Structure 1
């Protein structure tokens, strides 16, 4: 009895079995879920493989079909991506493109091998026999040359072509990613009406140098008062516009720099742009502030075709307004201004100035304002410039750049003769080994030799209409360009001595010899037979000159001095 009772299961055993059963049942459920997920994944993989197989077969068929020649060329005009139709959510249109083909516009399909995102309007494509795009090519490299007159939105432009014919065209995909400006030259595909690419035109771009020269006022010697006058006229309105508005004062629109050749007119114009950029950077607290210098080479604007010079002037000021629209300072510099804008009615064989001058006047004070744009003109014949340009309100400030006196010449010499140059040991020892003292003594001796009024420096004898005579010396024809040439000659002589004798360094004798040789090369008169014209060029003003006699040739012992109208071999003027 006791053994039978002990073999019967207890309540605890039933509970243990129940727990084991529940664990097994949970495992079975997990296995069922995993099996269902595996079945689903398997079904998905089968579907994907079938889809891939279908795509491969489709691409294979397309490749076999599209790879058969011949092909036709067409130009892409519009892209039509896939989109849902309005009458049904499930109905969609296939990707298509519009092309210009054989003089007509055709909507064609795309091969599966062509990605629609790689296409751009104006691009060339290849069509197979069924008129399906099978390949994308580049843009046409040839076309008609046209000029942008006006931009119409972001993708169209009004252009002018042959015989000033105007036309509205579309911009190709290549141009949409570039900055197209008024005046740009474009290549036009006249069949499709697409402008394809920008064409650099050297005859225009060479006239407009947009980089700011690396020249400051500190690089210019002997022109302190003139520089101060220019800085007051140019920099104050740009740096303190609020004060000018408060006082009701308008900034000057232009500056005329006039005077003899080689005295620094072009250097000053370049320094203006550099100084404006530096001052604007100081005011804004930035390291650099952009400014622009448009250097217009005067005579190169002249063109044999009527209206071309005026068009280029309009282009120059359009470019200046564009650059100044963001607040940057723009300097428009007309070098040799008398060659372009001479007095109307003075032309002997042409009358181009009758339209060129009014074009400049309308640009300076026309309907369109010139904000942040400064016009600077340079000329050594200011008497030939049209008076309408020089009146107040146009070129307001007129600065005469005179020939340097002895003090100014020493200042200019100091820009070229510096302590870092190699000087001869004898000259340095003569000044106790002090390079700066050597430089100062060398400059002083050279200036004294140049500005001496003894017989060795006599150059011209001038007779005025009232009978008075005046002796002109070499100093009366000195300029910054001559001084630079003298220093360059002295350096060349020092190099030749080093190569021949082994003595290294510049000597005072080199400088004095350079002065003599420089003046000897320029002993001839200007290439003119009119004494009045010569007086205007050389910078001497006053009584009318009736007779000029050269002195240098007589001193050289070759032949007596001659009048200007009989002196042969006339060379460049100083």
Structure 2
């Protein structure tokens, strides 16, 4: 660049010289002619110099272009070298990772006064140092940490989610717990820091880390606990219609021993261990059991002057059955163990086995399985153990009490047996009154017909509906059955009435009223809605009877046996 500027300067100076010579010639200098040849020669020399400098200038421009190209190429080479350097560094880091020694996981236990830490490594307790970046106050008991090859802590992690499932038996001082392992083996463990702040109850399932001896997590309910309903349902005796006599029997058998234990002890009368509610389906067996638990809690609270809580363990019988040997028996033990734990806390506990005949059939009657030969003895041993508890009673419900093993039904086990019969006309009227409240929307013409007396109108609705249901008319004939002994019997619609059936009739009538209101054909319930619902309900049941074995079917229906 500098050489180019110098060449241009020399060329400009030469041009100025030529210009001056030309001016001298034009002024008529006398010596011009003489010196003409000299000037001509000088001009030729200068022209040669001009050509030479122009060639040099072209070469300079060419050199400059080559220099620019070389500079760009140098930049590309520099970028390539930097990229290669980065790749080499990445490969070196990868090689270092692959050749680095493995790190060991451990469980943090506590800090020492000299800023060292106590950890558990594969069951061994060790005292190690911490990396300067690890803050001791951030480490929590039971937490995982990572060690280097010198067994010093270099990184903190979370809590391990794997281990054994154990059951809490008791809480001890110093954030310790007594737990039960497999085969009822007991072990004293420590509570991890997050678990120490949680509310734990006896019987809870915990996650146990055998490497460190810590329990680190509270687990969800077990299978058996999922099959039971702990909370007492909000069902009162007032919600049940047509079963006043049966309710009185249940209250005498279940409530009195809970409410007046001192009187029973004074008279040396042992309370019953269990109650069997049997009868046709849909007649209120489960509803009565729920109402008993609710009533006991309320009355105990009234006597004690404070709110009391009772537990209703609703066992869904068929769901306890399991194809694996011993599983059903284990779950029966789980249910009674849970009941004993709740009773030990001073709470009244009702264990309700629904569909009892599915679980505890007569031994030896199994066709494809002999599970009843082991599950029945398991239940008998558990219910015999209930005598040591004051606050547990077993209630069973069944449609086929004849299939239940006799050892279950004998005195001293299920002492009280109460039949829940199908509702008669009076009971049916009472059940209808539970579902047909006066505040429901009724058709204006119906209210007007009864002079605005809604109570009288509802009573008339119920009376006409019940009379239509229980009439032994030709249209109410349901079927004729012939039993094994040759006996024949005609069954009517009334022979299959139940609380569930009545609820279905009322629901069906309400649906008719709603559809009529949607179609703008009038709003509110009418008496013909109920009668239509009775007829439609009857038609739906016509094809249901199992005529291949009328004896068994009649027993389920509650008509025979």
2:278 aligns with 258
- 8 Å Cα contact 2:273-2:387 kept in structure 1: no
Mean CA deviation greater in 426-435 or 165-174: 165-174
2:441 aligns with 422
Alignment partner of 2:106 out of 75, 78, 81 = 75
**Is the alpha carbon distance of 1:166 and 1:383 closer, same or farther for their aligned partners in structure 2, counting shifts above 3 Å?**
same
Per-residue deviation, 1:131? 4.2
2:6 aligns with none
Alignment partner of 1:397 out of 412, 416, 426 = 416
- 8 Å Cα contact 1:364-1:370 kept in structure 2: no
In 2: Cα distance, 1:205 partner to 1:127 partner: 41
In 1: Cα distance, 2:126 partner to 2:391 partner: 50
Alignment partner of 1:369 out of 385, 388, 399 = 388
In 2: Cα distance, 1:207 partner to 1:434 partner: 48
In 2: Cα distance, 1:331 partner to 1:261 partner: 21
Is 2:406 the counterpart of 1:387? yes
Is 2:489 the counterpart of 1:470? yes
Alignment partner of 1:443 out of 462, 485, 503 = 462
Alignment partner of 1:278 out of 282, 285, 298 = 298
In 2: Cα distance, 1:116 partner to 1:318 partner: 42
**Is the alpha carbon distance of 1:518 and 1:294 closer, same or farther for their aligned partners in structure 2, counting shifts above 3 Å?**
same
**Is the alpha carbon distance of 1:374 and 1:470 closer, same or farther for their aligned partners in structure 2, counting shifts above 3 Å?**
same
In 2: Cα distance, 1:367 partner to 1:437 partner: 51
1:207 aligns with 227
Alignment partner of 1:483 out of 502, 506, 513 = 502
- 8 Å Cα contact 2:224-2:335 kept in structure 1: no
In 1: Cα distance, 2:490 partner to 2:548 partner: 19
Per-residue deviation, 1:422? 0.2
In 1: Cα distance, 2:387 partner to 2:423 partner: 40
Gaps of 5+ in 1: 1-68, 83-93, 543-574
In 2: Cα distance, 1:311 partner to 1:367 partner: 17
Mean CA deviation greater in 205-214 or 173-182: 173-182
In 2: Cα distance, 1:354 partner to 1:325 partner: 31
SS, match of residue 339 in structure 1 = helix
In 2: Cα distance, 1:242 partner to 1:202 partner: 36
Is 2:556 the counterpart of 1:540? no
Per-residue deviation, 1:206? 1.9
The CA RMSD over aligned residues, in Å, is 2.6
* TM alignment of 1:87-236, pairs within 5 A: 94-101=114-121, 104-110=124-130, 116=136, 119-127=139-147, 131-133=151-153, 136-141=156-161, 143-148=162-167, 150-151=169-170, 153=172, 155-161=176-182, 168=187, 170-173=189-192, 174-178=194-198, 180=200, 184-201=204-221, 203-236=223-256
- 8 Å Cα contact 2:202-2:341 kept in structure 1: no
- 8 Å Cα contact 1:74-1:100 kept in structure 2: no
In 1: Cα distance, 2:295 partner to 2:116 partner: 57
2:14 aligns with none
Per-residue deviation, 1:156? 4.2
In 2: Cα distance, 1:177 partner to 1:501 partner: 61
2:353 aligns with 334
Give the helix-richer structure, 1 or 2.
2
Alignment partner of 2:429 out of 410, 415, 418 = 410
* TM alignment of 1:509-528, pairs within 5 A: 509-527=528-546
1:312 aligns with 331
- 8 Å Cα contact 1:145-1:188 kept in structure 2: yes
- 8 Å Cα contact 1:169-1:194 kept in structure 2: no
Per-residue deviation, 1:370? 2.5
Larger radius of gyration: 2
Per-residue deviation, 1:217? 0.5
In 1: Cα distance, 2:101 partner to 2:144 partner: 16
- 8 Å Cα contact 2:168-2:206 kept in structure 1: no
1:289 aligns with 308
Deviations for 1:267-324, whole angstroms, at most 9, x for unmatched residues? Answer: 00110111011101111122x3111111111111111221111111111111111111
TM-score of the aligned structures, taking structure 1 as reference length? 0.74
SS, match of residue 440 in structure 2 = coil
In 2: Cα distance, 1:492 partner to 1:524 partner: 23
Per-residue deviation, 1:527? 4.1
- 8 Å Cα contact 2:278-2:420 kept in structure 1: yes
SS, match of residue 243 in structure 1 = helix
In 2: Cα distance, 1:381 partner to 1:441 partner: 37
Q: For this pair of structures, how many residues does the alignment match?
A: 459
In 1: Cα distance, 2:446 partner to 2:267 partner: 58
Alignment partner of 1:244 out of 264, 268, 277 = 264
SS, match of residue 366 in structure 1 = helix
In 1: Cα distance, 2:313 partner to 2:131 partner: 51
Deviations for 1:26-51, whole angstroms, at most 9, x for unmatched residues? Answer: xxxxxxxxxxxxxxxxxxxxxxxxxx
- 8 Å Cα contact 2:112-2:118 kept in structure 1: no
Gaps of 5+ in 2: 1-99
